[in-house]
Structure 1
Amino acid sequence: MNDDEHLQRFEDHTLPIELWNHRAHLKVAYLYLQRFSFEETLSRLQTGIRAYNAAKGIKDTPTGGYHETMTQAWLHLVHTTLCQFGPADSADAFFDAQTQLSGKRALLLFYSRDRIMSPEAKASFVAPDLAPLPRPLNDSIKRQEPRG
């Protein structure tokens, strides 16, 4: 499926749950970042992931469901990578080229396991305890026109 279809299927909750994996989450972040500011992207991710999870019956539990710190930390990594290397022809092409984003354990470079898996980190953003999250030198993303 192309980028617009991926985003539409996420937003209307028709993306099959078996396709809602790490890469699919990051693709949504990437696609939103190309259309919206970091702050608007974060807001859309927070609302969108919760709504998608609810539509698919994914419950928020101490070990499952929406995780605020992971959402924000991954968004920082995608945003910084996008600013540093620029967009690609598609989200898949971007992630094929930026393989450092493919490993779900990458956040353990910034967070201890205890901190990232804490109830506090799940409920609200907590800063990393091992190293600061990277930040782009400038936000120079070429944005597309927002979809209707």
Structure 2
Amino acid sequence: MAPLYHYGSEAEIIRIGEGFAASTLPKAEWTHGAHWAAAFWLILKRPDLTPEADMPGMIRRYNEAVGTPNTDSEGYHETITQASLIVARGFIAREGENASLHALCNSLFASRFGRSDWLFQHWSKGVLFSVKARKEWVAPDLNPLIV
């Protein structure tokens, strides 16, 4: 089965990352793939930021800019954000910091993490969709998060 997402150039990832950071990326383009692209871009191209600390506020601002409320049931989700950053850092460690952004994304998309349901291999729906997991890091209750 072919990956759902594929990026052909570094420029595509940079456009997504910069659009996300400026809260100008169209909401329709804030896809599962774009979330990963933004994570890789932040980690590798924004040394002035600490993604684990800065991305939560950036996502909240972006959500507000595109009309998505940050509530107990929608918008920003801490556990998903931090889990995604753990996975992104794992891919960078495996592929090397000199790998191109689009190659990193495409490698991830070809893996199990390219599926939007990858989280359910690690968290039960009840735990992942809890208000607690939305507001703070909650460790996996099914399987450890290993990249």
Q: What TM-score range do you get, normalising by the shorter chain? A: 0.7 to 0.9
1:60 matches 2:67: no
Q: TM-score, normalised by structure 2?
A: 0.81
Residue 36 of structure 1 deviates from its aligned partner by: 5.3
1:73 matches 2:73: no
Structure 2: which 5+ residue stretches go unaligned? Answer: 1-10
Structure 1: which 5+ residue stretches go unaligned? Answer: 136-148
Q: TM-score, normalised by structure 1?
A: 0.80
Q: Is the 8 A contact 2:60 2:70 kept in 1?
A: no
1:82 matches 2:89: no
Residue 28 of structure 1 deviates from its aligned partner by: 0.9
Among 105, 117, 132, the residue aligned to 1:105: 117
Residue 35 of structure 1 deviates from its aligned partner by: 3.5
Aligned to 1:142: none
Alignment partners' CA distance in 2, 1:48 and 1:60: 12
Aligned to 2:52: 42
Matched pairs, number: 133
- SS at 1:5's partner residue? helix
1:24-49 alpha-carbon deviations (Å, 9 max, x no partner): 11111111111357x81112211111
After TM superposition, what 4+ stretches of structure 1 lie above 4 angstroms from structure 2?
none
Among 9, 24, 39, the residue aligned to 1:14: 24
Alignment partners' CA distance in 2, 1:61 and 1:41: 21
Alignment partners' CA distance in 2, 1:57 and 1:44: 20
Distance 1:123 1:73, change over 3 A: same
